[in-house]
Chain A
């Protein structure tokens, strides 16, 4: 019974040419461990240096965005403590697409953040490499946007490393949340 269910999940991933999938709490420790595994896997796949570094770079920014912003979160430890940490949840997959790779990340966001995020991503998506470079430099010098702990830069880094325009989508989950996905091909 268990074997069958898990095997079905595995097959569903394989059918989509997903070579790596993680779903659960996203933490810096997970980033470190999974990051090393991804590097090893890409070396075994014989990916060229630039592809390997780009997949890794996109992975790092996607994970750090989820670690900082996922709206699906639980406090860890003493809930009364001001030093109480928060653990957030997300899903990340890496798959094959043609000759390259595609990194897909998903997490919950509040409905109230959807419009701002959509606007920011549409803007980044519409920029060519030169425009991206100019805006990125400006952002590097300026203060982070309101409500952002530096996500503007992270999203731009993803777009810069991607071989095609980034893709994103939102799907309503409940009254408070939407599920947000961001896809980057390398």
Chain B
């Protein structure tokens, strides 16, 4: 399927879903004017991809600097989708990269990670 690539804007993160390589990434800041509108295309592309993943392997990288409270809900929904795919047999690795200068984002990663029952969660410092 076609890759999904959305460049970052001031208030929305960069989306880099390379479905061919089974490597998906969301990076930057997220406090969109309309969260539902922004994440709609992200969710639908991910749903299509995960439905066809079967027992395949997928890696999802979160490299977020800042997210507002309504984006947190969208991120949780992304995590749920990844976990559901893993429950159905896929091997899913979720990486949460945090800036070590801001432990709030580290804590947030821990909170999301606790809820993953089937996907494998990795919490790591952002390089550099």
Residues of A within 8 A of B (CB): 28, 32, 36, 48-50, 53-54, 56-57, 60-61, 64, 133, 137, 140-141, 150, 153-154, 156-157, 160-161
Contacts and interface: CB of A to CB of B under 8 A. Distances in A.
B66 A140 contact: no
B33 A28 contact: yes
Contact of A150 (B31, B69, B107): B69
Contacts of B33: 28
Given A48-B101, A153-B70, A157-B69, 5 more contacts: A32-B10, A49-B101, A57-B68, A133-B107, A153-B73
B68 A61 contact: yes
A53 B104 contact: yes
Interface residues of B, number: 19
Interface string B54-67: 00000000000110
Contacts of B73: 140, 150, 153
B103 interface: yes
Interface of B: 10-11, 31, 33, 65-66, 68-70, 72-73, 76, 99, 101-104, 107, 111
A57 B66 contact: yes
B69 A54 contact: no
Nearest to B105: A53
Nearest to A36: B10
Contacts of A56: 66
Contact of B76 (A36, A49, A141): A141
22 contacts: A28-B33, A49-B99, A49-B101, A49-B102, A50-B102, A53-B102, A53-B104, A57-B104, A60-B31, A60-B68, A61-B69, A64-B70, A133-B107, A133-B111, A141-B76, A153-B73, A154-B68, A154-B69, A154-B70, A156-B69, A157-B69, A160-B104
Contacts of A28: 33
Contacts of B76: 140-141
